Amino acid sequence: MKVIIFEGIDCTGKSTASKELVKKLLDANPRVKVMYYHMTGEDPQSVYAMQHFFGRMHKFKVDYLIFDRSMIGEMFYGPKYRGASSITLGETYRILKEFDHEIHFKKIPDDKWIAHKEEYFKREEATFTEYEEIRKDYLEFYKVVRSVKKTGLNVIFSEFK
């Protein structure tokens, strides 16, 4: 089983990219078994479901397990919505290293973030300051992951389009 995670701050194209991948896999081979899971950071039940999923992934009889957001996002959104993250980077690493995996980090460049934020905040009940803090945390995380050569994590970086 291959585990593929799309991660990044809201509105960077995770849902679009993950759904396109599911369609591509199924179009290429209708018999392929794909499980898709979309996690929302606001819903505590979603976080518990994600932890349950990751604790039992080895039992799933699928070819691909695709996540639109994951426990990595919980490290950033958990403090905002629940006061703390329910998982650490070390726990995430221990889970993922057991699987053939890819983590696709979707990053939004500063110039596009500035242009994009107006549209985003019209439809979301969030303040710019809250999401700017989460965005800065993600950017710091990108730097750390890129600087550590031997994490054992297969990380792919791409930008918002």
d(CA 96, CA 90): 10
The residues spanned by each domain of the chain are 2-159
| pLDDT the model gives residue 34 | 94
Positive or negative, the Cα torsion across 39, 5, 74, 142? Answer: negative
Contact 31, 128 (CB under 8 A): no
Cβ-in-10-Å burial (0-12, 13-18, 19+) of 151 comes to: middle
Nearest to 40 by CA among 80, 83, 94, 89: 80
Tokens of 68: 């639109």
- State the 10-residue block means of pLDDT for the chain, 161 residues long: 84 85 95 87 63 73 88 78 79 79 74 63 63 77 66 67 54
pLDDT at residue number 149: 54
Cα distance between residue 41 and residue 75, in whole Å:
10
pLDDT, tens digit, 9 for 90 and up, residues 113-159: 666 666 666 655 556 677 777 778 777 777 776 665 556 667 776 66
Closest CA to 93 of 109, 71, 62: 71
CA distances from 123 to 75, 86, 109, 115, 144 (A): 24, 27, 21, 15, 32
pLDDT at 105: 77
Q: Does domain 2-159 have CATH number 3.40.50.300?
A: yes
Taking the complete model, does pTM exceed 0.85, yes or no? Answer: no
